[in-house]
A and B are shown apart, each in its own frame.
Chain A
């Protein structure tokens, strides 16, 4: 460590990742539009570059943030930790400014325009957002902050985003006007999306956890079980949805009471069945490896102390396997949130409905109205489950 820092002090650049991201952001801002202004929602508009869209103080602020990040990327005068801390803190005003400048521009641009005119975000807006996220991830990794501080940073970023959406700031944006048009529908689809994910995860856990335990207890069953589950994993999701239509439609017709419950070739039933099948392998595999990772000596001691098999399972095996099991749940949750989008194709609903509707109408902002919340859901779920994984480790191993 000391050697690396000594070596680093002779180089000009202390953090190459950060410098690369900065260069990418500057290049993107120079070449790609920050926003688009179009006469109505369907035609593509004219590009508006960053320096055209931002007011003087906003440009000044952005320059200051850029200089701070450049300072953080250099090896002098700040040290390694101080640089990373500066970079991490600078992401928060960058995030706020990115949103604020876009909303502010939309307000100004639409004052004299026709009611049908639209402002939408351009490539540079997204680039700044992604660069912001990548800088934060890089800085968080370098700083190795404790659980509480990581959570605090995540909440601060989340608060900024929520504050931007809460007021009227972003209301004139095209995507927000699509949202306003679809407001009731949006909430419905959000709930539907979440219900589909939960509807898949609960049965997957109910089946997967015991299967993982079974694989651990009967090692002979393990290989067969894993190969069967592997087959599901390799099938393309659209194909599975398609394959399920015929048998489920037949089942719904043959047994009308099942049909009354909503089981048919299209809709939620095939979607949930497919999602459960995809979720099983990660859950079973992680449950198995979590349990298999419990040291043999620990189990021998537990038996030797006089614990019953049930006590060994609940007091020793499950607590020790929990971080690995929850990692499996994290993978499956993020995967299910994404796959549920495709399920809209067979009429299951969810955010995918906006995406396919938007694709059909060639209304890009409607597509984004489905895509962006899906990404946000996935990121939030990932973050929350990572916290859970960390919490499930012994207190001083976090």
Chain B
């Protein structure tokens, strides 16, 4: 658990971080977000005291961070930055082992930990263990950077715009991996970004900062549904608010039992799935916009999984012109369906404002 209490930073008389108080429970993924110069990076760096505090307190799992020697504190906190800051004269394995080395772990324990982390980030040990950083792609270097930050199993992981410098495609992959790593390790994470989509994708809590002040601290959906003021509304962006909301909703929340026979009288259910012997969907009758009654073969491109975001599911419906997607499990068996009507239905049930 991290508590910021009246946190303040003054540079030359100017308050760049102004009286910020918030609490992040253990295991949460907190995102600090705001326009450039809002003080989000400064706030992050005060947690591991790379930036000294001007006022207020930071309490980490009950300890005031200023009570500990700075180096000892930092070894308890993982730290990953945008430009990775990998040590160019050390191999990937040596880089990952940095903090365990400082903590004087025995060699065999360090080796095991390096292997474990490389596996977690899908880095082949044979290929990468003895590689030097300048041979790595941007995405690989960033994975090594995060693995290094996690090496000594820190209580908290701080990440300063870690995916800001990689290409959009790699960024999406890294975000998905980060989400998985967060679920696997249950680490408390503080993550700085200026990208609202990234924040909505990853955060369990978002702190929106402006001019050094905390504007709103909330769960992602609450921030979208009940913005504190016009600044928040503007920063989130109103144009695709519906899509942003769907990016925080998951197929399993919307899925219903699959229709296995025609119900011509019921609107929205005038279709039916054909299954093979193993229970996998092979064809859809009806519910395709261009050939209403014909039988259409099911393609993997327009299936959904329970963990998929509704934004992605909607995108598939629109692109492949189907009103309903089959929801399949990891063996490819039909376990449900999710359709256009369903999206509108739940929105309405949640009392979403029409505007």
Q: Give A residues with C-beta under 8 Å from B.
A: 295, 297-308, 311, 316, 319-320, 394-397
B132 / chain A contacts, CB cutoff of 8 Å? 394-397
Whether the Cβ atoms of A300 and B88 lie closer than 8 Å is no
In the bound complex, CA of A299 to CA of B99 (Å)? 15
**B295 on the A face (CB < 8 A):** no
In the bound complex, CA of A298 to CA of B89 (Å)? 11
CB distance from B57 to the nearest CB of A (A): 21
B89 / chain A contacts, CB cutoff of 8 Å? 319-320, 394
A395 / chain B contacts, CB cutoff of 8 Å? 132
Whether the Cβ atoms of B135 and A307 lie closer than 8 Å is no
Whether the Cβ atoms of A397 and B134 lie closer than 8 Å is yes
- The B79-113 residues at the A interface (CB cut-off 8 A) are 79, 81-89, 98-99, 102
- A-B contacts, 26 of them at CB < 8 A, read A295-B83, A295-B88, A297-B84, A298-B86, A298-B87, A300-B50, A300-B85, A301-B79, A301-B86, A301-B87, A301-B145, A304-B81, A304-B158, A305-B75, A305-B99, A306-B70, A306-B72, A306-B74, A306-B102, A307-B71, A311-B102, A316-B87, A319-B89, A394-B132, A396-B132, A397-B132
A295 / chain B contacts, CB cutoff of 8 Å? 83, 85, 88
Main secondary structure of the interface of A (DSSP, over half): helix
Which of B82, B83, B84, B98 contacts A305, CB < 8 Å? B98
A397 / chain B contacts, CB cutoff of 8 Å? 132, 134
Query: Considering only CB atoms, which chain A residue lies closest to B45 in the complex?
Result: A304
Whether the Cβ atoms of A308 and B71 lie closer than 8 Å is yes
Whether the Cβ atoms of B75 and A297 lie closer than 8 Å is no
B84 / chain A contacts, CB cutoff of 8 Å? 297, 301
Q: Give B residues with C-beta under 8 Å from A.
A: 48, 50, 70-75, 79, 81-89, 98-99, 102, 132, 134-135, 145, 148, 158
Query: Considering only CB atoms, which chain B residue lies closest to A304 in the complex?
Result: B79
Whether the Cβ atoms of A303 and B83 lie closer than 8 Å is no
A299 / chain B contacts, CB cutoff of 8 Å? 85
Whether the Cβ atoms of A297 and B79 lie closer than 8 Å is no
In the bound complex, CA of A319 to CA of B94 (Å)? 14
In the bound complex, CA of A64 to CA of B132 (Å)? 47
CB distance from A213 to the nearest CB of B (A): 18
In the bound complex, CA of A308 to CA of B134 (Å)? 25
B71 / chain A contacts, CB cutoff of 8 Å? 306-308
In the bound complex, CA of A316 to CA of B95 (Å)? 11
Whether the Cβ atoms of B88 and A306 lie closer than 8 Å is no
In the bound complex, CA of A320 to CA of B86 (Å)? 12
Which of B73, B85, B135 contacts A301, CB < 8 Å? B85
In the bound complex, CA of A70 to CA of B84 (Å)? 52
CB distance from A310 to the nearest CB of B (A): 10
Query: Considering only CB atoms, which chain A residue lies closest to B70 in the complex?
Result: A306
A300 / chain B contacts, CB cutoff of 8 Å? 50, 81, 85
In the bound complex, CA of A397 to CA of B88 (Å)? 10
Whether the Cβ atoms of A304 and B134 lie closer than 8 Å is no
In the bound complex, CA of A309 to CA of B70 (Å)? 11
B86 / chain A contacts, CB cutoff of 8 Å? 298, 301
B72 / chain A contacts, CB cutoff of 8 Å? 306
B70 / chain A contacts, CB cutoff of 8 Å? 306
A302 / chain B contacts, CB cutoff of 8 Å? 85, 87
Beyond contacts A304-B85, A307-B71: 14 other A-B pairs, Cβ-Cβ < 8 A, are A295-B88, A298-B85, A300-B81, A301-B85, A301-B86, A304-B50, A305-B79, A306-B70, A306-B71, A306-B73, A306-B74, A320-B88, A394-B132, A397-B132
Whether the Cβ atoms of A305 and B81 lie closer than 8 Å is no
B158 / chain A contacts, CB cutoff of 8 Å? 304
Whether the Cβ atoms of B88 and A394 lie closer than 8 Å is yes
In the bound complex, CA of A150 to CA of B73 (Å)? 48
In the bound complex, CA of A298 to CA of B83 (Å)? 9
Whether the Cβ atoms of B50 and A305 lie closer than 8 Å is no
Whether the Cβ atoms of A301 and B81 lie closer than 8 Å is yes
Which of A303, A306, A316, A320 contacts B99, CB < 8 Å? A306
Query: Considering only CB atoms, which chain A residue lies closest to B90 in the complex?
Result: A394
CB distance from B289 to the nearest CB of A (A): 51
In the bound complex, CA of A395 to CA of B98 (Å)? 19
In the bound complex, CA of A15 to CA of B102 (Å)? 54
CB distance from A254 to the nearest CB of B (A): 51
Question: Given A300-B50, A300-B81, A396-B135, are A305 and B102 neighbors across the interface (CB < 8 Å)?
Answer: yes
Whether the Cβ atoms of A303 and B102 lie closer than 8 Å is no
In the bound complex, CA of A307 to CA of B95 (Å)? 13
A306 / chain B contacts, CB cutoff of 8 Å? 70-75, 99, 102
B87 / chain A contacts, CB cutoff of 8 Å? 298, 301-302, 316
